[in-house]
Amino acid sequence: MRAHPPGLVRGLCVLWITMAQVAGQEEREKTTALKDLLSRIDLDELMKKDEPPLSFPKTLEEFEYAFNEKGQLRHVKTGEAFAFNAREDLHRWNQKRYEALGEIITQYVYKLLETKCNMTKEILPVDAMQDEPTSFIYLSADALTNPSKLLVLIQGSGVVRAGQWARRLIINQDLDSGTQIPFITRAMEEGYGVMVLNPNENFLEVEKPAPKAPGPLPSPPPEPSDEPAEKRERKDEKEGKKKREFYEKYRNPQRERETEQIPIRENSSSEEHVLYVWDHFVSRATAKNVFIMAHSYGGLSFVELINQREAQVKNKVCAVALTDSTHNIWLQETSKGTQDWMQQCCRNWVSSPEPLDTPVDTMLPDCPRVSAGTEKHELTSWTSFDSVFRFFREALEAEEEGEGAETSTTVTTRSSSLKSKHLDL
C-alpha cells in the first residue's frame, strides 16, 4: 500500500477541518437567523404567507349566488348551496369570505324590509347631529298610529342586524327561517303595527390611520472583540445580508385593517338600545296593546327594560314571547312584582327535544317555559312561529274579556285579567 507524504495528510486534514468549520458556521448563522425571525413574528401569521388577498365581492351577483323562489341561497351556475370551505387549509380566508357575504346579506334583508314589507328607516338618536354616529330601526307605516296592536321584534346578539334572527340560517337554510320577514308579514295581515329593532348596531367602525413604516431592526450591542473594526464591519454586513435573504423567503403576511369603534349615543349596547326605543317610540305609540317578541339576548334586554320601566311596561305590554331567552331574573335582580307579571304575561319557547309547546321544567320563577320543538338554538323563533301568534291572540282575548267584565267602580289590571282567564280555564 502506497504511503501518502505526511505534509499532504496534514494539508487534507486542515482542509477538512476548515470546511467543517465553515459548514458549521453557516448552519449556526442560519439557526441564529431563524431564531431571530421567530422571535419577531407570530407563528400563526407565518402560516398565512400563501393566503390569497382578503378582498371579496361586494354584491351577490359578484359572488355568483342568488336566492331562488324558495328563499334558498344557491350558486347561479352549479345550483349548489354555499360552501364555507372554498379553499382548503385556509380557515381565516374562508371565515373572512363568509363574513363578507354576511354583510351583503344584511343589506339584502334591509332592502326586503323596505320593498317587500313597506317599512321605513328611523334614524337614532332622534336628535343626531350631522357628523355623529347613528343607528336606525324599521317602522311599519302605522307603527306609531295603530290604535289597537303593536308588535316589537328584538333579535339576539352578534352580527345579526335589523330583520334577522340568524345569519347562518339565511345562508345555509332559507330566508323564512333566518329572517323576521314572515313574522312581519303575518303581523301586518293580522292588523298589527310593527317595529323592528336593531340592538347590535352600537358603534361606528372607522379605520385607523396607517402606522409609520418601521425603521431598521435594532442591532445587538457589539460583543467585546480584538478584531479590527474594519473586519468586524465587513462581518456584520455579511451577516445582515444573510438575514435579509432569509427574511425574504417569508414575506410579511397580509394583516387586517386596524379599526376603532365610536359608540352611538344612548345606543352603545343592546340594553341601551331597547330602552332608548321604548322611551322614544314604543311608549309614545297609540296602540292600546303592545306585544314583544325577543330571541336569545333580546330576552335579557327586555328584562333590563322592565327593570328600568316597570310601571310603563306592565301598563302597556299585553304579552311577551321569548325564544331561548338568555335572561336570568336572579342575576338581573328583578323584583317580586316583575316575576309575578312575567309568570302571567310571558312565555319562553326553549330549545328542547320535546314536541312543540310541551311544558319544560324551570328552576327560575320567572315565566313558563315550553319546547320550541327543536334542539337548535337559532331555529327556536322559526319553529315557534304559529305558537307565538296563537299565544298573542289568546292574551288579547283574555285582556278584552277582562275589560268586558269591569264595572264602573272596578279597575282590572292586565295581570289580574289574564290570571282570572287562566283560572277560568
**Model confidence pLDDT, tens digit, residues 39-88:** 555 545 545 456 777 778 889 999 899 999 999 999 999 999 988 887 77
* Percent over 90 (pLDDT), the chain: 59
Over 80: is that where the pLDDT of 229 sits? no
Strands 317-323, 346-350: parallel, antiparallel or unpaired by DSSP? parallel
- Superfamily of chain region 119-203+264-424: Alpha/Beta hydrolase fold, catalytic domain (3.40.50.1820)
Which residues form the catalytic set?
296
Q: Which is nearest to 178 in space by CA: 152, 199, 155, 158?
A: 155
pLDDT of residue 230: 61
Predicted TM-score (pTM) of this structure = 0.76
Mean pLDDT of 15-43: 59
Predicted confidence (pLDDT) per residue in 339-358, tens digit? 999 999 999 999 999 999 99
Q: State the average pLDDT for the chain.
A: 83
